[in-house]
Structure 1
Amino acid sequence: MRSPRTMISIGAALVSLALVLAGCGGQDDDAAQSGTGTFKLWHYESANGAMGKAWDKAIEVFKAEHPGVTVEFERKAFEQIQQNASMILASDQAPDLMEYNKGNATAGLLSSKGLLTDLSDEVTGRGWDKLLSPSLQTTARYDEKGVMGSGSWFGVPNYGEYVMVYYNKDLFQQHGVAVPKTLDELTKAMDTFVAKKITPLGMAGAEYPAGQLYYQLALSKADRSFVDNYQLYKGPVSFDADPLKYGAETFRQWVDKGYVSQRSASLKAEDMGTAFIAGKTPMIVSGSWWYGRFSSEIKKFQWGTFLFPGNKLNAGSSGNLWVVPEQSKNKKLAYDFIDITMRPEIQTILGNNGGVPVNADLAKVTDLKNKELIANFAAITAADGLAFYPDWPVPGYYDVLVAGGQSLINGSKNPQQVLTELGKAYEQGVSEIENG
């Protein structure tokens, strides 16, 4: 779900691209074959997050196993890579390995343009496919049109993620609120906070969180056939009827009831997260990627999580993908690094720092909260409950979704107007993909 914040001008894009490419030089194909040279790695995970910690260790292992190779790791901003990926990967400045968002609109689009390496032989040869459940493989494989779920492997995930509710246990206890088990109980809990003049649900309209709430609400009225139609184009999708109508209308009702602040329309995900860390917010609805950071930074109150009450379907998927640019000059080194991140020792670091591993030694995951996080994900996948993310279906849809979420929060457009715009962009995007 995490995608670029806003559309940027061509001039700004070129400036940003120049910044991204600063300091990048060429590499030597022959050096790669001899086990020497330079290996360029980009990702955008924070150093104190689960993935950042695990991949830092993977870099250490890689260096030890490839003593003649110089590792050039750069931590990029998510939006920096997302906004400029096509330009970067079409140039000779591409890294050897890069973390990238999954879905039709992102990895699928790049694969359809021939910018990503087909990893199918490496996946089967190294046994990575045996470590990933079918639902996690969905986001790694794309057909010739860039539609996920079939075709060749163009990426490899090494963790899972899903959307849940984070809550401040101290605030719940202080105001006599129990953990809700149904959507009705959730609204009653939020009514209790509103009566105490507390905005119960932290939000960010300038980035992905608003879209996640809209989608979670829609999924409360959805089934697997809706997800297949919406994400995989297996059937028509109506933006004038439930479940999408319910999602947009209920979101706006929650704003009207004071569950979500109108001031959050301009906030970014970081603003929402830091407010929760500061103990100012009873709840947020967002992804498991926050888990490790909250574990590290929340010191003054007790917190926990629960699945979105009553939902059988939840936004979630495999984690972001390792992709190897077609222009990579050291592909063998990229494959070796991916392989290291799939090892149990690295996966267990993920599990012990708030990540959702795919191949950890669970006996060595010691924190009870982390065990619960992993168990909830296992329960979702076992029930075929991963519904991917609302911005995935077509390229450029993230920006349309963010604009719609902001409009629902600030009231500049009513739910039907928002749905009409979402529907128009969706149908146009699907038509372009299907008709080539």
Structure 2
Amino acid sequence: MLTARRRVVATAAALVGALLLASCGGSDEGSGEAKTLRLWHYEAPNSAMGVAWTEAINEFEATHPGVTVEFEEKSFEQIQKTAPMVLNSSDAPDLMEYNKGNATAGHLSKQGLLTDLTAEATRRGWDKKIGEGVRTTSMYDAQGVMGSGKWYGVPNYAEYTMVFYNRELFEEHGVEEPTTLDELTAAMDTFVDAGVTPLANAGAEYLAQQYVYQLALSGADRAWVDAYQLYKGKTDFHDEAWVHAAETFADWVDKGYVSKDSTGAKAEQAGLDFIQGRTPILFSGSWWYGRFQEEAKFDWGTFLWPGSDLTLGSGGNLWVVPEKAPNKELAYDFIEITLSEKIQNLLGNNGGVPVAADPAAITDPQSKKLIEDFNTLSKRDGLAFYPDWPAAGFYDVLVSETQKLITGSAKPHTYLGALQEAYDKGVSRR
């Protein structure tokens, strides 16, 4: 749905406007001609990012008289599948949220579809605001490998995965918050014995493969991650970590921890299963946090995956500026606003993980816990990125093959062999 925001700003935000315009370095909208910034993102309106970006649009229009923001709502899946085609056409937006990693932003940068933002990152100080661990996914070399080279995207939040749990259901069934994987397994046994499927899952999208990857990470270290994600060594899908992951996940399906009916489910359904109290546990990302704060009508909490120093996470999705974008300066100005302290504080108080907020301004207790756990992961170098990143098209392979693992049509050894073949083929094409 295309939603055009055309607001007449009657308030005198003179000081804020002057500061922001000064930092923008003179965009070319000063000619007096009406202009439009075309913006795509896929954050839910009541998510932390959706709330923050809506306010950023208000700020942008207040400080850019005569400029309108046209926001086009897209889903993650839509952008994931159509971005290369759209960005190579005249329909490219001025600014777009896009998935980070070698298989996505790295792949597009290598194809010349994204604008090099290195000069803007330096001129506007984004390279100082965004910490080293978070900006790993901003930079890509000539081969599209993250971590070095030129800036092709700007994250203005961070993200990581955690275990969300329904405290009321835990209490009802006499289950304590697990601190080890054995305790988590025992908790799931208790729920199954009571006729409750413990884990929310979505086989048709990212959730199922992320369970498998987390189980592998529980037996891995940073060198293992670097080999898999950055090609600094050989990746063997029949090593101890991957075999444990595939066998454990298949066992969890057999034991009823994961419903076979979730094979065709989308992430939205898994989220609703948790929100509506049908499943007591959801392992997923901080992008759900703000939504759960608003929609879950029960007492819930979170904890990091027990027994693992590593979990899925990184800097957040990137703002990228298509190479064919007609209004690049306006896009840079919008990115600048999303990194302002006001927007960053708003993000932090609505269940997001900001990268440039004032810590003293984050007052919501749950949001403080979210940020504290992220800091714990950052200090122990615990962010291990996402399983689909190493090669273009690997996401779809992970979805389809993990669905087979859920249905039982593929056994763990066959599953891992299929992943090895697709991974090797994808990496060799880089």
Range class of TM-score, shorter chain: over 0.9
Report how far residue 31 of structure 1 moved. 6.2
Report how far residue 361 of structure 1 moved. 1.8
Is 1:119 matched with 2:117?
yes
Residues 123, 129 of structure 1: 8 Å contact kept:
yes
Match among 343, 346, 369 for residue 343 of structure 2: 346
2:407 is aligned with what amino acid?
A: N
Match among 131, 134, 144 for residue 133 of structure 1: 131
Match of 2:244 in 1: 246
Distance 2:380 2:30 in 1: 44
Match among 215, 218, 224 for residue 216 of structure 2: 218
Is 1:392 matched with 2:363?
no
Distance 2:338 2:56 in 1: 6
Match among 368, 374, 378 for residue 377 of structure 1: 374
Match of 1:416 in 2: 413
> Map of 1:17-416 to 2, 5 A cutoff?
32=29, 34=31, 36=33, 37-299=35-297, 301-416=298-413
Report how far residue 370 of structure 1 moved. 0.7
Q: Deviations over 1:54-78 (max 9, x none)?
A: 0111111111110021221111122
Distance 2:143 2:167 in 1: 46
The structure-2 alpha-carbon separation of the partners of 1:94 and 1:35, relative to structure 1 and needing over 3 Å to count, comes to: farther
Report how far residue 33 of structure 1 moved. 6.2
Match of 2:11 in 1: none
3-state DSSP of counterpart to 1:201: coil
Distance 2:97 2:396 in 1: 21
2:336 is aligned with what amino acid?
A: D
Distance 1:132 1:383 in 2: 18
Q: Deviations over 1:268-323 (max 9, x none)?
A: 11111001100111101111101110101112x11111100111000000110000
Distance 2:78 2:192 in 1: 38
4+ residue runs over 6 A deviation = none
Q: Deviations over 1:329-365 (max 9, x none)?
A: 1111111100000011001111111111011122221
Report how far residue 34 of structure 1 moved. 3.0
Q: Deviations over 1:155-179 (max 9, x none)?
A: 0000011111000000101111111
The structure-2 alpha-carbon separation of the partners of 1:411 and 1:35, relative to structure 1 and needing over 3 Å to count, comes to: farther
Residues 35, 69 of structure 1: 8 Å contact kept:
no
2:194 is aligned with what amino acid?
A: K
CA RMSD of aligned residues (A): 1.3
Q: Deviations over 1:375-394 (max 9, x none)?
A: 10111111110000001100
Alignment coverage as a number of residue pairs: 405
Distance 1:70 1:282 in 2: 44
Distance 1:34 1:161 in 2: 39
3-state DSSP of counterpart to 1:134: coil
Residues 32, 330 of structure 1: 8 Å contact kept:
no
3-state DSSP of counterpart to 2:334: helix
Distance 2:335 2:405 in 1: 41
The structure-2 alpha-carbon separation of the partners of 1:91 and 1:35, relative to structure 1 and needing over 3 Å to count, comes to: farther
TM-score (norm 2): 0.92
3-state DSSP of counterpart to 1:249: helix
Distance 2:105 2:124 in 1: 22
Q: Deviations over 1:96-145 (max 9, x none)?
A: 11000001111011000000000001111111111222111111111111
3-state DSSP of counterpart to 2:429: helix
**Can you give the 5+ residue segments of structure 2 that lack an aligned partner in the other structure?**
3-26
Report how far residue 262 of structure 1 moved. 1.1
Report how far residue 255 of structure 1 moved. 0.8
Report how far residue 240 of structure 1 moved. 1.2
Residue identity (%): 61
3-state DSSP of counterpart to 2:392: coil
The structure-2 alpha-carbon separation of the partners of 1:110 and 1:32, relative to structure 1 and needing over 3 Å to count, comes to: farther
Distance 2:424 2:48 in 1: 37
Q: Which moved more, 1:223-232 or 1:357-366?
A: 357-366
Residues 311, 384 of structure 2: 8 Å contact kept:
yes
1:376 is aligned with what amino acid?
A: D
Residues 35, 66 of structure 1: 8 Å contact kept:
no
3-state DSSP of counterpart to 2:224: helix
3-state DSSP of counterpart to 1:271: helix
Distance 1:242 1:169 in 2: 34
Residues 392, 398 of structure 1: 8 Å contact kept:
yes
Q: Which moved more, 1:377-386 or 1:71-80?
A: 71-80
TM-score (norm 1): 0.91
Distance 2:239 2:307 in 1: 20
3-state DSSP of counterpart to 1:147: coil
2:421 is aligned with what amino acid?
A: K
Residues 141, 153 of structure 1: 8 Å contact kept:
yes
Residues 209, 402 of structure 2: 8 Å contact kept:
yes
**Can you give the 5+ residue segments of structure 1 that lack an aligned partner in the other structure?**
1-18, 21-29
Residues 28, 329 of structure 2: 8 Å contact kept:
no
2:36 is aligned with what amino acid?
A: T
Distance 1:144 1:93 in 2: 26
3-state DSSP of counterpart to 2:391: coil
Distance 1:32 1:324 in 2: 17
